[in-house]
Amino acid sequence: MKTPFYQIQPPAPPKKKVLLVGVELPRNGSASMGISLEELEGLATTANYQPIARFSQKLSTVNPKTFLGSGKVEELQRAVDRHHPEAIVFDAELSPGQNRNLENIFKCRVIDRSWLILEIFNDHACTREAKTQVELARLKYALPRLTRMWGHLSRQRGGIGLKDVGETQIQLDRRLIRNEITKLERKLKRIDKEKITQRKGRKGIYRVALVGYTNAGKSTLMNRLTGSDTLVEDKLFATLDATIRKIKKNFPYPVLLADTVGLIDKLPHDLVASFKSTLDEVREADLLLKLVDFSHPSYRKQMETVDQVLTELGTGDTDSLLVFNKVDRVTDPELLANARHLFPEAVMISCKTGEGIERLQREIIRCYENRLTPYTLVMDYSQTDLISEIRKQVIIVKEDYEENRIVLSLRLPPEGKARLNKLLKQKPRIPTL
């Protein structure tokens, strides 16, 4: 039986060949460089490139003109002549001058880790906000790096000042690009205001944000805790937009869970700035779930990267829970025992098997209850009909019906007292205990 024409999928575009280049500097060891190159290969594959060879060099200092030493440049030139790659990808951020010099030498595109991440974000952006954020970051990053080899930027979506479809990057008018950057910044400010209005509507509800290195399993955990069907893919940066759902399974309190964009080492600064409104979900959270891929050989380094970004966001004082995911992949009992010794507060879970999920739920509830304030409210019997409404706003621990009054022992969440006063239209007659 023939497949109907409307079900036939178009063939995937062929992957373009690239060479990968890493540098070992005094501040990082060879083991760190090997793991970073593995990650770079994963990024290149996600961006639909085909890595065909890796190169690395140990340097005491970076060459200000070509980043690499002259011998390594010659070795790369021979590889370019042999393989004819689409691009050479560096596992570092190149200066505009280094980028231009290398493209003039190799006569092919030279891109760095930051641009590769921006390409992935561009491919994965779906919503109006994400597309605007990524386009702004791409233009800001590309503006000082205009060379004849950057014709691939002519694929940029929606009006960046191109005169015709085939126009290359070097022909772009810098003034028009700056004008477009200004328009995008204004657009993001409008989106920011919309997001602020949305967050005001959630004020007073306990908010939990999932944060962690990309591909740590945040979306899978979101689905586990909320019963939602958030996109889950075993690839880097599968989720860009903040997804917010209510935790429904076995939770006695209203709790909102936000799945945020994954973090990664050497994340472009322009991208962090552009994703301000998305990362505001992290800034305004009451609790951060720091999710770690415990099966990753460099999980400690990933934890440091996440903590560094969170510090830059100013969330150092926010309550947090350390959560080690994918423990089902770890078969070494000594590794598990050592982690439990080093991080006794960590919750060990497996989103795949469900191991540890119930304990994680209890920990979230404990963190929520730690923020509740004891309070005593005295009411007249004429206000009895308000008790059902009060129960929706706060937690009633005990009800004492005395001869002339009702005494309620309460636990108030943040903003709870203000909501009570608004409901009662008067101040409680007994102060907080």
For 276-306, the pLDDT digits (tens) are 666 777 888 899 999 999 999 889 989 998 8
Instruction: Record the pTM.
Output: 0.74
Q: Report the alpha-carbon distance of residue 355 to residue 371 in Å, rounded.
A: 27
Least confident of 7-16, 105-114, 344-353, 406-415: 7-16
Four-point Cα dihedral 293, 331, 223, 304, nearest 10: -10
- Tell me what the mean pLDDT of segment 58-65 comes to: 90
Question: What is the predicted pLDDT for the residue at 163?
Answer: 43
Strand, helix or coil for residue 320: strand
Q: Report the alpha-carbon distance of residue 242 to residue 170 in Å, rounded.
A: 35
* pLDDT for residue 15 is more than 60: yes
Short-list 239, 337, 343, 234, CA closest to 281: 239
pLDDT in tens, 105-129: 999 999 999 899 888 888 877 778 7
Quick one: tokens of 426?
């008067």
How does the average pLDDT of the chain come out, rounded? 81
Q: Report the alpha-carbon distance of residue 25 to residue 5 in Å, rounded.
A: 54
Question: What is the predicted pLDDT for the residue at 165?
Answer: 42
Question: What is the predicted pLDDT for the residue at 237?
Answer: 60
Other CB atoms within 10 Å distance of the CB of residue 309: 19
